[in-house]
Chains A and B, each alone.
Chain A
Amino acid sequence: MTLTQKLFAPGWYRAALGTVVGFAFGMGLVVAVRALYGWDPVVDWNAIVTVGALIAAPLGYLVGIGCFDYWFRWASGAPTIPEDHSGHGAHSWKDYFRVNTDHKVIGIQYIVTTMFFFIAGGLMAMLMRAELAQPGTQFVDPNTFNGLFSVHASIMIFLFIIPVFAGIANYVIPLMIGAPDMAFPRLNALSFWMLPIGGVMMLASYFAEGGAFATGWTAYAPLSTETPLGQQFFTIGVQFAGASSIATALNFLVTIITMRAPGMTFWRMPLLVWANFTTSLLVVIATPFIAGSQFMVLLDRTLGTQFFDPAANGDVLMYQHVFWFYSHPAVYIMMLPGFGIISEVISTHARKPVFGYRMMAFSLVAIVILGFTVWAHHMFVSGMQSWLRIPMMITTMLIAVPTGIKIFSWLATLWRGVIHLRTPLLFALGFITMFTLGGISGIMLAVVPFDIHVSDTYFIVAHIHYVLFGGSVFTIFAGLYHWFPKMTGRMYDETLGRIHFWMSFIFFNLTFGPMHLVGIDGMPRRVADYAEQFATWNAIISISAFIFGLSFLIFLYNMVTSWRHGPAAPGNPWRAHSIEWQVSSPPPVFNFDEIPTVVGGPYEYGVPGAVHAVFKEKKPAAVPAPAGGGGAPPPTNT
């Protein structure tokens, strides 16, 4: 291809062109409007960055890379290019760097991209712990420090935990329900390609005038309406990450509702499917609220709307209500998919049916509903209407009931199982330990008088990391080890996996455990410097944090070398029942040569001869095994 052709065909050349054109368009628009109105200065770089670099350039890049080609042709009435499925699947590494509609490729794209952001966020955490190792200012000034914890949290939440779950689900869910792909493969690709925009924007905010956004990931107004330009990299970055998240959730909902294999009733779905179904409900209902809150901040900053300016009858507390109406359910968006992973991992590696399957599904639904009724427990000291605290305390504590059902059911699944203590199960057990602790500190925080004391202290930092790292990230590790053979066709190194687990488990607790104590003892969070009395604990926390950080390198080394040189994985190394394990590793491009028929539950371990799904042979002679087992193991159709 000549360069001209490359510039017109979807891909990186056209993406670069689109970015430049987008920026130039945005800049032109700003300059033209300002010149027209006679405003001074005509060239206002704050406005140009906002309109050109943060809005128009990313859209130009999305068009350039080819996310919209099919739709544009279709919408304009031009003949669409017949789908020859050439955009599907990966034959070389290059296929991961273009708009690809294969859910398995998109799943890997998500996971690898989010891992990059996980590393970036982790390095920021290391830098913060270096600064906090002793009182005073050593490495970074307060402005940079405030930027570090703000970008760290935003990256970890919006660019790692939420999307990595979307990545795992993207890969596994269609296989699990016996579908050839997601319901909307092109929308799926668009969702992925919007994601890195948000992340790059947040990281790039360090180069903005005045430094990175430094108002925490919560970006409370009116601080966020007054801080320098970097804030806009957050308010707009969140829109891209949020749009990506909403589109994916819609895709999951439609896929799960309409594309299940014959016989896959709702009560035969694996719990990971249930988990992503309920998570997607949360995402489509809640995520528009954070988009709204950030748009209001953006409008306050750029157009002077005064939503949050008390001098103009703006309402400061409204920001927090709208923000937390998303951001509390977001905690469950970051937790429910993990619950699903743990159910798969425990029942497979302990070789027992998930205990109380229906209650497990119902408790997910209960958490979704209750999750929308607790947002103001983040605002017990905010000055909101004081009566609101009591109902929010009660609903918050009631969430312990469905969560308890899950923990106890997992324990009952372990009981009398045949436990294969492989890395995924180790992480699942580590998850149960630390999530129980995080849940307990969550109950404590729900009790208003105690929360009044520890709100905005290191106790909160400890709690959130027990829930999001000991909770969510451990389930992510469990899931990645569990499905690694399926995704790559190779086995990971079990010994390295165990070392990774024990190192991260021990040093996670040494890092975040003591934070409960310093928090109760009076150390506020989000501070670049602290009182002398907390010096010893902070030194211990920092040293543990560094070793904890190193443990991630073992994981990375294991994943990279195993992916390249690991021993070939069989189709079903864990002898699991769910459908994704009944195809080769990695699965064929279109998942199934023959759509499976589901004949029983997904976890019928110990039921003699039971299978979850059968693959009809091409010869009409083969009869599917009757429901509830009695038949032979699933026939092969090689």
Chain B
Amino acid sequence: MSTREPVSQDTAKGPPETDPRIAGEKHPVGRMLAIGVFASLIGIAITLLIDWFPTDASGAADQIDTLYDVLLICSVPVFVLVMTIAIYSVVRFRAKPGDMGDGPPIHGNTRLEIVWVTIPFIMVTALAIYGWIVLDDIEAKQQDELVVNVTGQQFTWTFEYPQQNLNSAELVLPLDRPVDFRIKSRDVIHSFWVPEFRLKSDAVPGLTTKIRLTPDRVGNYEVVCAELCGLGHSTMRQFVRVLPADDFDRWARRQAREGGGGAPEGDSGQGGGGGGGAAAQGEEIFTAQGCGSCHTLAAANASGTVGPDLDKLQNTRAAFVRQSIVDPSAEVEQGFPDGVMPTDFGDKLSPEELDALVKYLLESQE
């Protein structure tokens, strides 16, 4: 066995007054405190100046943004405290070359340890209570709520307004009216999130989850799926439009007049009236089943790129289109992976609906 050198030399430093490294300084702790307070103030100022959040467009947004500011104000001094002591120690107590001595054998200090148990305890308790109050506030039931049923599926959202008795592929909300979202999923877990509203909830198969919020700023915001839901997850983004109450009512009336069954909103000229019932029904199915989130089809204003482009179905037999919907793995288009398209459309759609959808797809070729 190798020779063991002595591990500790008898050069322990005495009490702080006699430690030559800080003896020249009258109040090392006081000085660190001053540096710490100064650095904390700068740190708080910087972190509060950063524009962290997107636009705030709901009542909850203000409260959550304020909560975050409070969290920052509490966090910065903690971080600064840790950094100040660490950097000060490294600078002041760094070993001189050849210094083989040890530090003083301080094993602990009960008073200090009680302090650093108590203060964090009080801080986190206070923050937890504050968080609880905010949570209660933003989830409180409101008067005159607009109910919107949200349904997630791979890879799109659809919306139903039971009070207005209409369906929509687009989410449109009135300004300043409380909304009660009831969220469901048709297949796997999704998460309904509008960053500008600051609220999200998972869409869970077999459950109905809820969000309450009041939009308070007119505009177009993104509806984002926040829970990994499969291959097209990153493309599962749509828009929500917040309109003044009058415009919303107008939109709802027009939506109801156009069939209420989910015809897409917009001026695409694809109104339900014209060509034959089958094509209109086909478009309705195309929208309601969310085909457009993965496929491109100019006639339906759809521009998805996860699956093959449906504007290129010229000279395609109806039987093949039908097979591709019912059994997508039978023949997979070059350049697209197998196993992405749901395989249950054959069960979800009646034969008549399938016929209508196929007819619509083929008639939409231009």
Contact = CB atoms under 8 A, between A and B. Distances in A.
The judgment on whether A and B are partners is yes
Interface in B170-188: 187-188
B202 interface: yes
Interface stretch (A294-302, A432-440, A471-479): A432-440
Given A419-B89, A608-B8, A383 B124 contact: no
Interface in B109-140: 109, 112-113, 116-117, 120-121, 124-125, 127-128, 130-132, 134-135, 138-139
B235 interface: yes
Contacts of B135: 389-390, 448-449
A608 B12 contact: yes
Given A382-B202, A419-B89, A608-B10, A220 B128 contact: no
B105 A607 contact: yes
Contacts of B191: 381, 456
A383 B204 contact: yes
A285 interface: no
Interface residues on B, range: 35 or more
B337 A401 contact: no
A228 B339 contact: yes
B13 A397 contact: no
B198 A393 contact: no
Given A316-B206, A633-B7, A528 B234 contact: yes
B339 to A, nearest CB: 5
A362 to B, nearest CB: 10
A450 B337 contact: no
B358 interface: no
Most buried by A among B10, B19, B117, B227: B227
Nearest to A222: B188
A416 interface: yes
Nearest to B191: A456
B292 interface: no
B189 A316 contact: yes
A408 interface: yes
Nearest to B121: A401
Contact of A351 (B101, B201, B205, B222): B101
Contacts of A394: 125, 128
A567 interface: no
Contacts of B71: 443-444, 447, 450
Interface stretch (B34-42, B75-83, B156-164, B277-285): B75-83
Nearest to A437: B79
Interface stretch (A86-94, A180-188, A248-256, A514-522): A514-522
A353 interface: yes
B230 interface: yes
Given A146-B231, A419-B94, A437-B79, A455 B200 contact: yes
Nearest to B55: A522
Interface in B128-155: 128, 130-132, 134-135, 138-139
A357 B13 contact: no
A115 B89 CA distance: 33
Contacts of A315: 206
Interface stretch (A12-20, A54-62, A575-583): A575-583
Contact of B8 (A310, A432, A457, A577): A577
Contact of A571 (B4, B90, B132): B4
Interface stretch (B61-69, B241-249, B257-265, B295-303): B61-69
Contacts of A575: 5-8, 100
Contacts of B94: 419, 421
A520 B50 CA distance: 11
Nearest to B108: A356
B102 A393 contact: no
Given A449-B63, A531-B222, A359 B113 contact: yes
Contacts of B201: 381, 383, 452
A357 B105 CA distance: 12
A593 B1 contact: yes
Interface in B213-237: 222, 224-235, 237
A234 to B, nearest CB: 14
Contacts of B127: 397, 443, 447
A610 interface: yes
Contacts of B202: 381-383
Interface string A350-391: 111101111100000000000000000000011100100110
A445 B310 CA distance: 43
A530 B99 contact: no
B318 interface: no
A522 B224 contact: yes
Residue from the set A220, A223, A526, A582 with the largest chain B CB neighbour count within 10 Å: A223
A584 B196 CA distance: 62
Interface in B327-361: 337-340
A143 B231 contact: yes
A522 B222 contact: yes
Interface in A385-420: 386, 389-390, 393-394, 397-398, 400-401, 404-405, 407-409, 411-412, 414-420
A626 interface: no
Contacts of B230: 146, 214, 223, 227
Contacts of B206: 310-311, 314-316
A449 B134 contact: yes
B107 A353 contact: yes
Contacts of B63: 449
10 contacts: A350-B89, A353-B107, A416-B13, A421-B90, A524-B225, A530-B234, A582-B4, A608-B8, A608-B10, A634-B4
Interface of A: 141-143, 146, 210-211, 214-216, 220, 222-223, 226-228, 310-311, 314-317, 350-353, 355-359, 381-383, 386, 389-390, 393-394, 397-398, 400-401, 404-405, 407-409, 411-412, 414-421, 429, 432-433, 436-437, 440, 443-444, 446-450, 452-453, 455-457, 517, 520-522, 524-531, 570-572, 575-577, 581-585, 588, 593, 604-611, 633-634, 636-638
Given A355-B106, A520-B52, 20 more contacts: A210-B337, A357-B108, A393-B132, A416-B22, A416-B104, A440-B78, A443-B127, A447-B71, A449-B67, A450-B131, A452-B64, A455-B200, A456-B193, A517-B50, A527-B233, A582-B4, A609-B8, A611-B7, A633-B6, A633-B8
Interface of B: 1-8, 10, 12-13, 16, 19, 21-22, 50, 52-54, 60, 63-64, 67-68, 71, 75, 78-79, 82-83, 85-86, 89-90, 93-95, 99-109, 112-113, 116-117, 120-121, 124-125, 127-128, 130-132, 134-135, 138-139, 187-189, 191, 193, 195-196, 198-202, 204-207, 209, 222, 224-235, 237, 306, 337-340
Shortest Cβ-Cβ A-B pairs, 4 listed:
A310-B206, A522-B195, A527-B234, A352-B103
